[in-house]
Amino acid sequence: MKPERTRKRVQINDHCIFDLLILAAFVLFTIQSFEYNPRARAIPMGLGVIGGIMMLLQFLVDAFPELRLKLRFLSQRGLLGGPDPFKGRDVQHADWNRRIAVESHQTEKKVASWARVFRIILWLAGFVALLKAVYYLVAVGLFILFLTKMEARESWGRSLSVAVGTCVAFYLLFDVILNANL
């Protein structure tokens, strides 16, 4: 009789640690928001609660691979996630174990992912420097435009539309609704 292979129920890797760090930031947003007056706390508390819930779900999916079957919408690749080898295929329920194994193997083999993280940190540093020099909407627009073009490898049209949409949303939120002087 062959001994049964036990699957790892909990998988703690760099994705899980990153998820926990972002979750901690959202929890701090929420806690810090209680020190503001009721009108000023709405945005940080909303971002903290919603972001915290989203990061908790992402952590659970990253730490417990079996949850990927139940929370499929969380295991999809994002804008900066790269190409999906299963895109266009109708993945059946039984194929999910194979897909999880392939994704885990790909995750372990990505040495270049740390270089990508470093590049994004450099993009953020450039964004902060640009914020000091120009109006915040210009900085946000340029940051989004070049980040989506260079890192996500999107077309210029799509990158420009995302950047303009973000600037319009920021203008409406901060300048029109909140009347903030940024």
Res 80: pLDDT: 46
Res 7: pLDDT: 60
Res 152: pLDDT: 87
65 burial (CB, 10 Å; 0-12 / 13-18 / 19+) is buried
Q: What mean pLDDT comes out for the span 98-114?
A: 62
Convert the pLDDT of each residue in 37-79 to its tens digit: 888 888 888 888 999 998 998 898 888 878 777 777 665 554 4
On whether the pTM is more than 0.75, the answer is: no
Residue 131: helix, strand or coil by DSSP? Answer: helix
CA contacts within 13 A on the Cβ side of 101: 6
Q: What mean pLDDT comes out for the span 2-9?
A: 60
Across all residues in the chain, what is the average pLDDT? 80
Convert the pLDDT of each residue in 127-167 to its tens digit: 999 999 999 999 999 999 999 999 888 999 999 999 999 99
Res 175: pLDDT: 87
Query: Measured over all CA atoms, what is the biggest interatomic distance in the chain, rounded to whole angstroms?
Result: 73
pLDDT at 116 over 60: yes
Q: What mean pLDDT comes out for the span 107-126?
A: 77
pLDDT at 23 over 60: yes
Res 78: pLDDT: 47
* Domain parsing of the chain, residue ranges: 14-109, 113-177
Angle separating helix axes 156-170 and 136-150, nearest 10 degrees: 150
